[in-house]
Structure 1
Amino acid sequence: MIKSLYIDNYRSVRKLSIDLGRLNVVFGPNGCGKSNIYKAIHLIHGAATGQLSHWLSDEGGIQKVMWAGSRAKGYASAPRRMTLAVDTDDFEYELQVGFPDKLPYPTMFDLDPIVKEEQIWLSGFRRRPSSSIMHRRNQAVFLNDVNGEKVTHAATLYENESLFGQLGEPHLYPEVSSARETLRNWRFYHEFDITKGAGLRLPQVGYRSPVLSGDGLNLAAAFQTIVEIGDSELLFEVLAEAFPECLFFCDNSNGRFQMMMHRQGINRPLESAEFSDGTLRFLCLTVALLSPRPPRFIALNEPENSLHPQMLPALARLIAEASRYTQIWLTSHSPELATLIEKHTPFTLYQLGIENGETCVNRLS
């Protein structure tokens, strides 16, 4: 589990430290920073998967994501770096990213993000030097090898990417590699392309898929995987609660998988191209949360979007059930969803607000 999250100088978050529980529900008005905290967690995952620069560029580049509000007391200039950190049951990880220093050579990449510092400590030792298993400062890296000895990483590093994305021979650095795999296996579900003609609505080549992809493109194959090796009883119970007059199944035509639905009163099965947006979105959430291979951590961003209120009890049951095996970070605009979740399991509730452009967090329970 993630025990705590620290964010400094990222978008609307000037300085924030949050303790997390197993199921975390976050509320607040539009523009208060809910998505910014979600994106900050996503960036830590991006560092582990070697996509830090790519994801920062999707957000407009380092100059757009850096805190741009009122300066802290005692600081005469705007911040030059942001910090993202997590404390888990096994390790603590911190990443500091900033603007490049003045370069001694001509280049058009003078706004590339630069990893200033990156460090991993074993959890429970209060960041003592003896508990550090990796410390990077700019392009110099010291890390523990398989024998527990401090060694220098000899390979040349790209300064705009995390060490995680450039670490070869992982068997030589088992503790660092274990931390990387933990971060890489986090899952994020915030965007399913359910527009007309989207791939999610079309037959796809299928293979056994215990994990729903972030875009939901392998929905039919992941659904069938649950039917064959997962909790299919719970799957069909939840779908029957959300769609009482419907029966869903997967069709396989020459290796191409597609979701289908029998609906009471209609004499032919409906194809996924004919499903409503809310139906497809709920199917994706159901398959994601009932994964036969649950991760340590899942982040959901406003899962109630485009869902009819009658589906919320089934969604609440899904979220509560998934939290038995997985830590969940859930942002929402629906008080009703929170009330329904509480009927199944307790959770940690956070209320977000905005003051002078700065995100503030108030833990309510």
Structure 2
Amino acid sequence: MVSRLCIAGYRSLRDVRLEIEPLTVVTGANGSGKSSLYRALRLLADVAQGRIVPSLALEGGISSVLWAGPEQFSRGMKRGEQAVQGTVRKAPISLKLGFSSESYGYAIDLGLPVPGGLFGRDPVIKAESLWTGLVLQRANAFAERNGPSVTLRDRTGQRRQAHTHLQPFDSMLTHCANPEDGAELLSLREQLRDWRFYDHFRTDIEAPARRRQVGTRTPVLAGDGADLAAALATIREIGIEGELDAAVADAFPGGSVDVAVSDGYFEVEMLQHGLLRPLKATELSDGTLRYLLLVAALLSPRPPSLMILNEPETSLHPDLLSPLARLIAAAAKRSQIIVVSHAERLVSALTKAGGRRITLAKELGETVAEGEERPMWNWPAR
């Protein structure tokens, strides 16, 4: 389970350090930095897929996502006695992402490229570290990357040079993970690839979830929900017996969901109380379809180590928020879950169910976690 999450230099997240639990709810006003936190988590997962450079390119490149304020705020700036202005920079410009657990931690430091090249908006990986425990120290590092050089600790505890010419756009997670002396890197890479993100399922008339699809066993719902019918059928076949029916009945008393099969094509059908025939996916309301998508994601027969839901309350009627909270709380017993939401009814219900509430706010353009103590953290040295 991830215990600490740390981000520095990304958009409004100048230096955020959070303690997270099996169920964590992140909330705050519009513009407080919730979306930036969600995107930062996606960037961490993209490192293991080798996609962090194109992911940042979609946001305008490294220069477009860096913290735009001063490196530090003076006391006068914080008290409003002095205008916010640039200070003498002591550290290099960078974007840092990291997390840790009781078992191990990982951090990456991304910097600016050398001026004048063709790829001036691509980030350069300056440093990476993988260590055991919550906090990076010299003695507990399994793997260290500095510039193009990667050092690994082998099974005897000896350190060796594993790579000397790693490209600045390649991570040691994708190029140095092997079962011999890079087993820890391999394990971490697979864990990051297992993280699951669900963000604003489409529910318009042309949404992928409304279409008939060829049915195959689907233990993991796709990010766009296109395989909803197959995912629901798989839950019914190999999931926990009765959970699907209970989740639907909790939100829609007297209702049930089924999957119609015709010549190998699957289509969602839902019978609602008072109707003489089931409604097909094309007939369902946006909120009903979105709730079914969340049911399919949260009841996955192959639970991930970490699932992140971004504003799952979108399009849902307020009466569906309590059933959704119960569904999320139950899923948190199988997976660690982070929910990013501004729906107070959902946030309160998840907090009452044992979730940790983190409220983000803005101070001088910087995202801060209200009332949270900053945990100890060390970034890898360049």
Counterpart Cα distance in 2 of 1:361 and 1:128: 26
Partner in structure 2 of residue 357 of structure 1:
365
Counterparts of 1:150-189 in structure 2, within 5 Å, are 150-154=159-163, 156-167=165-176, 169-170=178-179, 172-189=181-198
Q: Which moved more, 1:33-42 or 1:245-254?
A: 245-254
Question: Deviation digits for residues 316-337 of structure 1, max 9, x if unmatched?
Answer: 1001101112211111111111
TM-score, normalized by length of structure 2?
Answer: 0.88
Which runs of structure 2 are paired with 1:146-295 in the superposition (5 Å)?
148-154=157-163, 156-167=165-176, 169-170=178-179, 172-295=181-304
User: Matches of residues 52-131 of structure 1 in structure 2 within 5 Å?
Assistant: 52-72=52-72, 75-76=88-89, 80-102=93-115, 107-123=117-133, 126-131=135-140
What residue is the counterpart of 2:81 in the other structure? none
Separation (CA, whole Å) in 1 of partners of 2:92 and 2:283: 50
The structural deviation recorded for 1:153 is 2.9
Aligned partner of residue 370 in structure 2, secondary structure: strand
Q: In 2 relative to 1, CA 364–346 (structure 1 residues): closer, same or farther, beyond 3 Å?
A: farther
The count of aligned residue pairs is 360
Gaps (5+ residues) in structure 1? none
Decide whether the 8 Å contact of 1:50 with 1:166 is kept in 2: no
Compared with structure 1, are the counterparts of its residues 271 and 179 closer, same or farther at alpha carbon in structure 2 (3 Å cutoff)?
Answer: same
Rounded to whole Å, the distance in 2 between the matches of 1:101 and 1:121 is: 29
- Partners of 1:205 and 1:190 lie apart in 2 by 24
Q: Which residue of 2 aligns with 1:132?
A: 141
User: Which of 348, 356, 364 is matched with 2:356 structurally?
Assistant: 348
Looking at structure 2, the residues matched to 155 and 254 of structure 1 have their Cα atoms a distance apart, in angstroms, of 55
Which piece of structure 1 moves more, 161-170 or 287-296?
Answer: 161-170
Partner of 1:53: helix, strand, or coil? helix
Larger mean Cα displacement after TM superposition, 219-228 or 70-79 = 70-79
Instruction: Determine the structure 1 residue equivalent to 2:38.
Output: 38
How far apart in 2 are the matches of 1:273 and 1:232? 27
Deviation at 1:253, TM superposition (A): 2.0
Aligned to 2:327: 318
Deviations 1:71-106, CA, capped at 9 Å, x for gaps: 325534896211111012321101001110246xxx
Q: Is the 8 A contact 1:44 1:84 kept in 2?
A: yes
Offset at residue 130 of structure 1 (A): 3.0
SS at match of 1:329: strand
Report the Cα offset of residue 13 of structure 1.
Answer: 0.8
Q: Deviation at 1:20?
A: 1.0
SS at match of 2:3: strand
Identity, % of aligned pairs?
A: 39
CA RMSD of aligned residues (A): 2.2
CA distance in 1: counterparts of 2:313 and 2:66, whole angstroms: 30
| Paired amino acid for 1:39 | R
- Which residue type is aligned with residue 112 of structure 1? D
**Cα offset for 1:155?**
7.8
With over 3 angstroms needed to count, the CA separation of the structure-2 counterparts of 1:267 and 1:58, relative to structure 1, is: same
Question: Any conservation in 2 of the 1:52–1:162 contact (CA below 8 Å)?
Answer: no
- The superposition leaves residues 42-65 of structure 1 with CA deviations (integer Å, 9 ceiling, x where unpaired) of 111110111101211122211111
Q: Give the drift of 1:139.
A: 1.5
Structure-1 residue corresponding to 2:78: none
Contact 2:106–2:131 (CA under 8 A) maintained in structure 1: yes
Structure 2 residue aligned with 1:21: 21
Q: For the Cα contact (< 8 Å) 1:191–1:214, is it kept in 2?
A: no
CA contact (8 A) 1:67 1:79 kept: no
Q: Which amino acid aligns with 1:41?
A: L
Cα 1:350–1:267 change in 2 (3 A) is: same
Amino acid at match of 2:30: N
CA–CA distance in structure 1, aligned partners of residues 223 and 302 of structure 2: 15
Q: Is the 8 A contact 2:149 2:164 kept in 1?
A: no
Q: Would you say the 8 A contact 2:208–2:224 is kept in 1?
A: no
User: What's the CA shift string for 1:278-333, capped at 9, x where partnerless?
Assistant: 11111111111111121221111111110001111110100110111221111111
Pick one of 308, 314, 318 that aligns with 1:305: 314
1:265 CA drift (Å):
4.2
After superposition, the Cα gap between the structure-2 partners of 1:16 and 1:232, relative to the gap in structure 1 and judged at 3 Å, is same
Q: The residue matched to 1:152 in structure 2 has which SS? A: strand
SS in structure 1 opposite 2:173? helix
- Which residue type is aligned with residue 7 of structure 1? I
